[in-house]
Amino acid sequence: MKIHPLLLALLLVPAVHASPAEHDHTGTPSHSLTISGAVKAPGELDLAAIKKLAPKNTGPMNVICASGQLKGKADNYRGVLLTDVLDSVVIDQKAHKDDRRMVIVARATDGYTVTFSWSELYNTEIGKQVLVAWEKDGKPLEPGEGQLLLISGKDIKTGPRHVRWLDRIEVVRMP
């Protein structure tokens, strides 16, 4: 059957609206975490190396977009603290007041990028719930979310710093 191009366009419009660009799943699963910048031991941690750190559970968590829309629910995510990951590569602190200049940038395979400050991670309650997770509700993360996911459980809107396909951490010392 031949479909008139105008009819085809009309049929496609609702599909485009149902899936706005900011929620496209165009990335690929991540298989490791590359850590670079102001750290003493830059390099790549695979899932096995990450799992050797102390695992933690989030308990029930909703993923809420900045728009307020509920995007997902979980009874539990399992992962390790981002601060434990950073401690394993050791932030390169040159002097007593150097740590607080650091910005921690987390990126995904699709280029999605979020930031934390050193102070936020190490000197507020937020940091105690920022996890690099590999498991949701007792199962490995689905390819659409993992296999590594960064989550910030104390955020008011948990969607923005819910980084699917996390694959890079950069520690930036602000000049």
Pick between residue 136 and residue 162 the one whose CB is nearest to Mo ion.
162
Residue 108 binds to Mo ion (criterion: CB under 5 A) = no
Residue 136 binds to ligand MTE (criterion: CB under 6 A) = no
Find all residues with CB under 8 Å of 169, minimum gap 6, and list them: 33, 34, 35, 36, 82, 85, 86, 104, 105, 106, 107
Identify which range of 31-39, 88-96, 105-113, 124-132 contacts ligand MTE by CB under 6 A.
105-113
The answer to whether 146 touches 30, Cβ cutoff 8 Å, is: yes
Q: Is 20 strand, coil or helix?
A: coil
**Segment 45-104, which members bind ligand MTE (CB under 6 A)?**
63, 65, 71-72
- Measured from the CB of residue 160, what is the shortest distance to ligand MTE in angstroms? 6
Token duo for residue 112:
């999605």
How many angstroms separate the Cα of 43 from the Cα of each of 1, 40, 46, 120, 163?
A: 55, 10, 10, 24, 20
The answer to whether 151 touches 61, Cβ cutoff 8 Å, is: yes
In the list 27, 37, 153, 159, the residue contacting Mo ion (rule: CB under 5 A) is 159
Residue 165 binds to ligand MTE (criterion: CB under 6 A) = yes
Q: Which residue is nearest to ligand MTE (CB)?
A: 159
Contact positions vs ligand MTE (CB under 6 A): 22-23, 27, 63, 65, 71-72, 108, 110, 112, 159-160, 162-165
- Residues of this chain that interact with Mo ion (CB under 5 A) are 65, 159
